[in-house]
Chains A and B, each alone.
Chain A
């Protein structure tokens, strides 16, 4: 622990070659997590600054991409939760809440708002139906789908990033995927590719109603 501290310029060079190569992937994820380009840019910058701040503790040769995504998702989730809390303070029983809590209240942030946003409509307009559908999936499920299906992290890696059990990752993932497919089926109906909510969608609903799968228990039973 009393080893010589690496020089900042050396750290920076290493950071550029090991971490900055993932900037595009991180930005893509930030765009899918937040609801505006501005927030995505801010999230990316905060993530990279945090990563650089702790880069002397990052072990070379370990999975840098997973480490960066962990910082990105945690930064996003913390901010998202904070915005949720703040909104609750503002609306919830102002007379009994301590002043200190209400003072930090704000009305709405870009994280809030109903599902089905301008960003989503714009995405669909440019043929990005999958991206638009993903925007409609609630945050916890969206994070699981994003990390697993888009960025190809394993259940275990995602579980470590989110600090939840593997079973939780799997159930969020499957729930997120179901919501996503249902949304895509709805788009298909809207654009007339499917004449009515037909077989695909009904299957989807049937699947949703199928008995709840406890994957953790399932896996334990198989082990």
Chain B
């Protein structure tokens, strides 16, 4: 009988090279499956087990997973885009034009990067509201919620800094309007505006600063906080499941029923 893909994969996991890299061997015992998560530097952020109930679509709508997916796509498309992009005026615009019309698949990569960025902002917002309406920010998950708020801000900043990079009319005026809001901060507003743009108006310095923020500082910050975000899910007891909270939280009517049981 021909081997199935599963068996080939198991064979691969049994080899010395694989085991030397991933530290976990083959086998489908609970122990082996737990080790596969726990012994991997990336996967060990997650817990080895998940409540079966939390796998249903309605529990999370997979919004966190999908947000991570958009982040992967953005990294995978952003790095190739950097290969054809010079953050200087007006070369940035011509490079974007080249990506649009000259470079093979450049148009597609830019489209994918841009639409994924919009999708990520949308998904982060959706994730936040979903978490709120499920009450998943409650003790002991308060701090993970705060990290989530930080990640929301980082996502907005990532998208905002990326908005300037094509150096077209759309980019230039959106950033001009947006950065002038910073000037409205009392007392230190003009200083913030000056530091953000590296000058008193949107020009070559601002483009370079936004480029460095967009490609280096903000992605690193995002990765840092995402790692904590995932790790805290495990440390705080896994994905929030409704019934692990006090009955009174679940719904008023059920709590009433239980109180009636006790009283009666």
Is this pair of chains taken from one and the same complex?
no
Chain B residues in the interface with A (C-beta under 8 A): none
Chain A residues in the interface with B (C-beta under 8 A): none
